[in-house]
Structure 1
């Protein structure tokens, strides 16, 4: 059972990355805020539940696929880790060059059902190729191809991401009005978030590249 749990260092390092990713503005956050402002907190939370369900699906599919890759093609797994590190660098550069990424739309027409808000959250997450690509390239960085418990550890890390994301997205919904004003009106706040994201993921990428290419 203990072998299925990553080391405390891995858990803590992954936690930093997960929290930074959760607080970085993107399509999911924009939808949470939009639904909350336009239709109320309950719709905001239902959108969150839908998006987190999508994250769970992405995580399990990535963990399953990566586990098969480790068994079938260790060399391909190594290549995936290098590609993942390069992708993290690209994400860091993109974060610096882009704006806030938070586009809050105004409501139009009838108020959606709670089921509709759930499906909206699920849909925006499942149909976002960047989310799938992120998990496929990021999760492998925290396991080793020769670890017999790699599959279980991947699932553990996926669940860790969900647990850490939950309080963040709850805070986003509860502070939707403040968040909108802050991110849309404060250029400094946007820069702090973007540079924080870039620093963390660039650091991960450089560390990974050096570690993998030396093996």
Structure 2
């Protein structure tokens, strides 16, 4: 089992990932605002199943790679650091769009399509795969037991964090959209805060060492 204090840092990283704008968040916000909370929850179910797909694939993949190629840790750490810095830039780049501005004229989708698109949006989202591949090895240590078990443990924690945050997003999307439209300064505050946290995580990862 992974020590609780290390899980806390992983939870922070997972929280930042799910709160940083990406295909999953944009899709959930769009459907929640244009079709209502029920459609948002159906879409969220698809997104969560997409996470489960990533967890299974990455868990077995990491088990094979980390046991067979020790220096893979350094490669994955570098990829993760660069990607976090990229996300930080994306958060504050000029003319970045407010994700709560959606096209309300888009056609309504049925439950099957909502779930399927939510699933595929997550499965085909490279951000999720990169997060798993680059972050999991930072917390997986041989002395903590089975690599596969630790990877699955981190996956379950990440899904719980993602589900909780996205659940709140679906519930409050319409209200938050109105708030940001009336208080545009908070959009800049949110973007710079997110960029700062991402940069901190990137620096921490860059100087982390395998144990």
Name the TM-score, length of structure 2 as normaliser. 0.87
Name the counterpart of 1:69. Answer: 65
The yes-or-no answer on 1:129 pairing with 2:126 is: yes
RMSD: 2.3
Contact persistence 2:30–2:102 (CA under 8 A): yes
Name the counterpart of 1:158. Answer: 155
Structure-1 separation of matches of 2:111 and 2:29: 15
How is 1:53-202 mapped onto 2 (pairs within 5 angstroms)? 53-97=49-93, 99-100=96-97, 102=99, 103-109=101-107, 111-144=108-141, 148-184=145-181, 186-202=183-199
Contact persistence 1:100–1:190 (CA under 8 A): no
Displacement, 1:167? 2.1
Q: Aligned to 1:209, which of 201, 206, 210?
A: 206
Structure-2 separation of matches of 1:125 and 1:53: 8
Structure 1 unpaired stretches of 5+: none
Encode CA deviations 1:73-103: one digit per residue, 9 max, x unaligned: 0112322222222222222232222625515
User: Could you say if the C-alpha distance between residues 69 and 25 of structure 1 is closer, same or farther in structure 2, counting changes exceeding 3 Å?
Assistant: same
Encode CA deviations 1:16-61: one digit per residue, 9 max, x unaligned: 1222222223221221122122222111100011011111211222
Q: Aligned to 1:30, which of 16, 26, 30?
A: 26
**Greater Cα offset, 79-88 or 36-45:** 79-88
Contact persistence 1:26–1:101 (CA under 8 A): no
Instruction: Tell me which stretches of 4 or more aligned residues in structure 1 moved more than 6 Å.
Output: none
Structure-2 separation of matches of 1:188 and 1:160: 33
Name the TM-score, length of structure 1 as normaliser. 0.85
Contact persistence 1:82–1:212 (CA under 8 A): no
Q: Report the secondary structure of 1:74's partner residue.
A: coil
Contact persistence 1:69–1:77 (CA under 8 A): no
Encode CA deviations 1:119-169: one digit per residue, 9 max, x unaligned: 111121112222222222222222236654232111111100111222211
Structure-1 separation of matches of 2:52 and 2:186: 29
Structure 2 unpaired stretches of 5+: none
Number of aligned residues: 209
